[in-house]
Structures are given as structure tokens and as C-alpha cells.
């Protein structure tokens, strides 16, 4: 198997080590065990990376992401969608390469091509670029600080961030559900004198074009921030991810005011923890708790001919181990209350940072819940891997607990309609298979069960979905996505199966599937196991490597919970285009 095709299973011990030592070797507090488990399962989402689209760079990026537990990353350097010389656009080429070599690991953002800016219809043509990017599978638009600082029109004037010509672009992004990750301005020190008194002198000395202190050439920093704020206010239907902690990590009060005022604004953390970490940790902690739904994990990790860990000097050549330490310091800062430790990007300043000790319910929002909601339309198809059951059955022929634990878990913890997180209902699902059967196990926390009375375990009932159930929809032929089978189990043991060829539903069909249900009233958790005969699903039985289509659902009426493994983003579970993948492991 190609090394990019699978997420390495990283042990909790190894991940703990990542967060337990700094570059100087000082002892650190343990990371949150919940977060260690998320990393071991590859659940982390990094919403801000830049990876050069070559096989070598992609392979190195995935190798490092595997080590640190990041399952999906947003590569913001997808390129433009403008074809060149009659061939494919840069975005098409880059996405095709990532999808082939690292399926499921990256979403790509595109960049706007400003060619023809001075023409009167640029706004319309820019909006068409957005439409083309959406058609090609772009997850969003990335705009760099070039806007407002470098890009100039035919007269040599800077193109303003809030130029009305760009309104059709921002508007179309919102209409298509594509977020805009936007970088304006830069750290405050980049407007201070260009000499040794500047606290970012080491960085500016190696990056002379990043100094904007010449008022005859560049606008004031505050003017750039105000221009972006006007754009965000003008386009309430578009989500703007303001990178680098809202482009103003020096001023927490400003960031808080803008998050209060602009519900369509998010802030990412990329390359700004060294700055945010200088603030009083209790103050930062309060801000993160207040706006836990609006802050997203991001690093500005870059893989080019050398690694860039947030920023870099000309002579730096970080190793893979340095990158692991870079991520580890993110975990340490977010998860512990450790004081005065060296930050992850030394060139950004000679100071220390102090951790903000976020609780698990905030961490999971920052680490992946917010990103999954934001990118629900664009995230790669998830994969449920069914482990081959060999010798793992008990005397009754059923899988043992040990066999189940060897199967990789996935979780249903999002609303099917809008991808909102429902951590309190997080339902774990595992899959096993033999030459004859597919087994699915659902473990569901609950507060109160809602079932049909009287209970008739093993009896099929049409309309079972009107009470609490777990469900699996399985399609075996990708060429006929509207043909699939549906299986439901209720906490009282009642069940239902049917065959569909949308819009037709065959309730008379019977798969012969069997179920087992256990309810732990003390622990408030109910467990359902389905044994589905493979012959009932397809004439050609699966073998190692076979991939079918599947989605998983749960109804929990007491908590208004209608969950999906891969949210359908519709008022029905029956959206086969939103199925994920069931892979039979050998």
C-alpha cells in the first residue's frame, strides 16, 4: 500500500511524549487524555497549512501529520482555477495529485486570479472563478495579504480590501457555502522601525518585504483591519475566517469586540500562538470559552523545499522531529496551565508563553467540531474500516469484546441537517466482517429512551424511525447510488430492514439480519449489534480491499438528536450522495 493511503495509528504513549517535552527538555504537564484519544484516532483538523503540490512534499506532509494525529488539513495553496496554455488549471492539477496520493487527507482552497482587474466586468468574472472553483471541488477561497499591501491596479494604486469590484466574489462564496480565509495586514511590529530595536528584528531581517513602515508606500495597519471589517459587515451571508487570530493577535479586546459584532467571522490560530501566548492566560482562557464556536485550530505549517513552522529564517532547516515538537507545543499551550515555556516559532520573538488550560468541551470545538461544521460540504468522504474477524468469536459464534476493540471506531456526533456538533450524544460505531456476515456495533449514550410500547424484541415495525433507533444505509454498487439497503434497531430490540431504489421502498424484503441490544441503565448507554448476511446485500461477496457505500444515523428524540456519521445537510437521511465508504480490511 502506498505510504500516503493510510493514517498511521499512533499510540497514546507516543502522543503523550509529543506534549511532554519542549525543545529545551523542561518537563511539561500531561496533555488532556481526551485530546490524546482524538489525536490517536486522527480526528484533528488543521485549517491552515501550505503544502507544495508534488509527490515528495505531500508524502512528507502526511508522514508528519500521521505522527501528530492530524487527520485532515486545509491546504490553502491550491492555486488558481484559470487554465493556462489550453491545459488544466493549477488548482485542477494540485487537487488531482492530492486526491490520488493522499485521499481523504486534504481539502484545497483556491486563489483568485486578478488578471484584468482594470476591466469593468472584473467582479462578474471573479464570481465566475468562484463558481468554477466550487465545481472543481475547492473548499474555500484563500486571500493573502497581497490584497491591500502588494496588489496594484494599472495606475499603480493599491487595490483596496473593500473595493466594490470584489463584492460579487465575496457574495458568491457565501451563496455557495464556501468560506473565505483571509489574511490582511501583519503583526504590529512590521510597521515599527526597521532596525535592531524592533522586537521582530530577526524575522524582518530575513524577510525585508514584510516591513510596511514606509507610509509613502503602505497604508496604516489599522486602515487595513477597518477595511476588512467593512467587507465582513457588508456580506453577512459569507463566512470569513480571519487568519492569524483575526489578523490582530496583539489586541484581544479588539478581537473580542469583532467576534461579538460579526457572527459571520471566525478566527484561526495560525502562526499567532507566540503572540497570543504573551497575554495573561486567564484572559485568553475566558475569550476562548466565550467564543468557543468561533475559534479554529490552525498552524500555518508549511511543507516546501524546507519545512516552515509558523515562520522561518533563511538559515533554518527544521526536521520532521522539529515539526512534531512544533505541534506538541500547540497541544501544551491549549491543554495545560504550564507557565513561561518556549514557544513553537523562536524567530517570532524572544519571549515565553503560558498555557490556557482549556477544558475538553472547548478543545474539541477548537480542534475539529468548528472546522467540520464549516467545511461539512467539502470534507473528504469518511471511511469505516471493517476488520476481518478471524478467530475472534466466542463459543456462541459472536464477536468477542476483544475482537470489537481491535476494530477502528468512528463516531456519529454531528447533526445530520447542519453538521452541528452533539458531543453529548457521541455514538461510537465499529465494524467486523467474516466471509458470510457484516457486523456493526453502535454504542449510544442517552438520557431517556423513547421507544414503542409494548416492546416486541426482534419484531419488525414500519415507522420504527419515529422513535429512538440507530441505522445503517448500505450501498454495494457505486454506479447505482440510489439502490441501497436500510437497517434499523431500537433500544427495545425492535428492528426494521428494507431495500430501496429511490424513490421506491420495498418493506417486504427481508435480509435475515439479526440484532442484539443491551441497555445499561446505570451508565446511561445502550448498545446495539447488527449481524447482516452479506449474501443479502450483494451477489458478489466482498473481499479484502472491497469498498462499498455506507452512512450511519441515530435518532434520539429526548434530546432532539438526529445524528449522521456524514451529515446529509438535508431534512432527510436519504441522501445517497452523502454516503461515506465501508472498506473491508483483509
**Maximum distance among all Cα pairs of the chain, rounded to whole angstroms:** 83
Q: Does domain 383-584 have CATH number 3.30.460.20?
A: no
DSSP assigned state of 375: T
* Domain assignments of the chain as residue spans, ordered by start: 12-374, 383-584
For residues 225 and 251, the answer to whether their CB atoms sit within 8 Å is: no
For residues 140 and 336, the answer to whether their CB atoms sit within 8 Å is: no
The set of residues, in sequence order, having a beta carbon less than 8 Å from that of 323 and lying 6+ positions away, is 64, 68, 301, 307, 309
Count, residues in the chain: 586
* Distance set, CA 138 to CA 59, 242, 264, 416 (Å): 21, 18, 20, 22
- Give residue 11's pLDDT: 38
- Give residue 459's pLDDT: 85
- Give residue 4's pLDDT: 41
Supply φ then ψ for residue 549, to 5 degrees. -105, 145
Cα gap 359→513, rounded to integer Å:
42
Task: Report angle CA 396, 399, 401 to the nearest 5 degrees.
Answer: 115
pLDDT in tens, the chain (586 residues): 333 434 434 334 344 434 444 444 468 899 999 999 999 999 999 999 999 999 999 999 999 999 999 999 999 999 999 998 889 999 999 999 999 999 999 999 999 999 999 999 999 999 999 999 999 999 999 999 999 999 999 999 999 999 999 999 999 999 999 999 999 999 999 999 999 999 999 999 999 999 999 999 999 999 999 999 999 999 999 999 999 999 999 999 999 999 999 999 999 999 999 999 999 999 999 999 999 999 999 999 999 999 999 887 778 899 999 999 999 999 999 999 999 999 999 889 889 999 999 999 999 999 999 999 999 999 999 999 999 998 766 657 799 999 999 999 999 999 999 999 999 999 999 999 999 999 999 999 999 999 999 988 888 899 999 999 999 999 999 999 999 999 999 999 999 999 999 999 999 999 999 999 999 999 999 999 999 999 999 999 999 999 999 999 999 999 999 999 999 999 999 999 999 999 999 9
Give the architecture (CATH level 2) of 12-374.
Answer: Alpha-Beta Barrel (3.20)
Task: Output the DSSP codes for 418-447.
Answer: T--B-GGG-EEEEEEE-SSEEEEEEEEE-S
Q: State the Rg of the chain over Cα.
A: 25
Domains 12-374 and 383-584 share a fold: no
Place of cell 526597521: 194
pTM: 0.92
Q: Which of 269, 286, 280 is nearest to 353 (CA)?
A: 280
Q: Which of 328, 329, 308, 330 is nearest to 317 (CA)?
A: 308
Cα gap 24→328, rounded to integer Å:
13
- Give residue 392's pLDDT: 64
DSSP assigned state of 365: I
Q: How many other β-carbons are positioned within 10 Å of the β-carbon of residue 4? A: 20
DSSP assigned state of 456: -
- Give residue 397's pLDDT: 74
SS3 360: helix
Beta strands in 119-258 (DSSP E): 140-143, 180-182, 240-242
Beta strands in 476-566 (DSSP E): 483-489, 495-501, 504-506, 514-520, 525-533, 547-556, 561-564
For residues 564 and 552, the answer to whether their CB atoms sit within 8 Å is: yes
Amino acid at each position: 500500500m502506498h505510504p500516503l493511503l493510510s493514517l498511521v495509528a499512533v499510540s497514546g504513549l507516543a502522543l503523550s511524549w509529543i506534549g511532554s517535552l519542549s525543545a529545551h527538555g523542561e518537563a511539561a504537564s500531561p496533555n488532556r487524555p481526551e485530546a490524546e484519544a482524538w489525536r490517536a484516532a486522527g480526528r484533528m483538523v488543521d485549517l491552515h497549512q501550505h503544502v507544495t503540490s508534488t509527490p515528495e512534499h505531500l508524502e512528507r506532509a502526511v508522514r508528519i501529520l500521521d505522527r501528530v494525529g492530524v487527520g485532515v488539513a486545509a491546504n490553502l495553496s491550491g492555486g488558481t482555477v484559470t487554465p493556462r496554455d489550453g491545459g488544466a488549471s493549477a488548482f485542477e492539477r494540485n487537487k488531482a495529485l492530492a486526491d490520488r496520493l493522499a485521499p481523504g487527507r486534504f481539502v484545497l482552497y483556491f486563489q483568485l486570479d486578478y488578471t484584468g482587474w482594470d476591466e469593468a466586468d472584473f467582479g462578474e468574472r471573479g464570481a465566475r472563478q468562484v463558481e468554477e472553483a466550487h465545481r472543481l471541488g475547492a473548499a474555500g477561497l484563500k486571500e493573502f495579504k497581497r490584497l491591500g499591501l502588494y496588489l496594484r491596479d494599472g495606475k499603480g494604486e493599491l487595490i483596496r480590501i473593500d473595493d466594490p469590484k470584489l463584492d460579487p466574489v465575496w457574495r458568491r462564496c457565501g451563496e455557495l457555502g464556501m468560506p473565505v480565509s483571509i489574511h490582511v495586514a501583519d503583526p504590529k511590529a512590521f510597521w515599527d522601525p526597521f532596525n535592531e530595536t524592533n522586537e521582530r528584528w530577526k524575522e524582518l531581517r530575513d524577510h525585508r518585504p514584510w516591513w510596511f513602515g514606509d507610509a509613502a508606500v503602505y497604508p496604516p495597519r489599522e486602515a487595513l483591519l477597518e477595511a476588512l471589517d467593512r467587507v465582513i459587515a457588508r456580506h453577512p451571508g459569507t463566512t470569513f475566517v480571519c487568519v492569524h487570530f483575526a489578523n490582530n493577535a496583539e489586541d484581544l479586546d479588539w478581537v473580542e469586540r469583532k467576534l461579538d459584532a460579526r457572527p459571520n467571522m471566525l478566527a484561526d490560530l495560525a502562526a499567532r500562538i507566540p503572540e497570543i501566548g504573551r497575554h495573561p492566560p486567564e484572559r485568553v482562557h475566558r475569550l476562548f470559552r466565550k467564543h468557543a464556536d468561533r475559534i479554529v485550530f490552525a498552524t500555518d505549517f508549511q511543507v516546501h523545499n524546507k519545512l516552515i513552522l509558523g515562520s522561518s529564517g533563511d538559515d533554518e532547516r527544521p526536521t520532521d522531529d522539529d515539526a512534531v515538537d512544533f505541534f506538541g507545543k500547540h497541544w501544551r499551550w491549549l491543554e495545560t496551565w504550564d507557565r513561561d515555556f518556549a514557544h513553537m516559532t523562536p524567530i517570532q520573538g524572544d519571549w515565553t508563553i503560558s498555557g490556557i488550560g482549556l477544558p475538553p468541551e472547548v478543545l474539541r470545538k477548537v480542534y475539529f467540531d468548528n472546522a467540520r461544521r464549516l467545511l461539512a460540504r467539502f470534507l473528504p468522504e469518511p471511511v469505516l474500516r471493517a476488520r476481518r474477524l478471524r478467530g475472534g468469536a466466542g463459543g456462541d459464534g459472536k464477536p468477542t469484546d476483544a475482537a470489537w476493540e481491535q476494530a477502528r471506531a468512528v463516531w456519529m456526533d454531528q447533526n445530520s441537517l447542519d453538521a452541528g456538533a452533539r458531543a453529548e450524544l457521541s455514538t461510537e460505531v465499529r465494524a467486523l466482517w467474516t466471509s458470510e456476515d457484516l457486523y456493526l456495533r453502535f454504542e449510544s449514550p442517552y438520557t431517556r429512551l423513547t421507544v414503542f410500547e409494548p416492546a416486541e424484541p426482534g419484531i419488525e415495525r414500519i415507522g420504527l424511525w419515529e422513535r429512538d433507533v440507530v441505522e445503517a444505509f448500505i450501498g454495494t454498487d457505486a454506479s447505482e447510488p440510489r439502490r441501497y439497503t436500510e437497517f434499523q434497531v431500537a433500544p427495545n430490540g425492535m428492528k426494521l430492514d428494507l431495500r430501496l431504489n429511490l424513490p421506491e421502498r420495498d418493506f417486504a424484503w427481508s435480509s435475515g439480519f439479526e440484532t442484539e441490544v443491551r441497555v445499561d441503565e446505570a451508565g446511561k448507554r445502550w448498545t446495539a449489534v447488527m449481524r447482516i448476511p452479506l449474501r443479502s446485500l450483494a451477489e458478489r461477496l466482498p473481499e479484502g480491499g472491497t469498498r462499498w457505500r455506507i452512512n450511519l444515523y441515530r435518532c434520539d428524540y429526548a434530546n432532539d438528536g438526529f445524528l449522521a456519521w456524514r451529515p446529509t445537510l438535508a431534512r432527510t437521511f436519504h441522501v445517497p450522495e452523502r454516503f461515506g465508504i465501508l472498506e473491508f480490511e483483509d
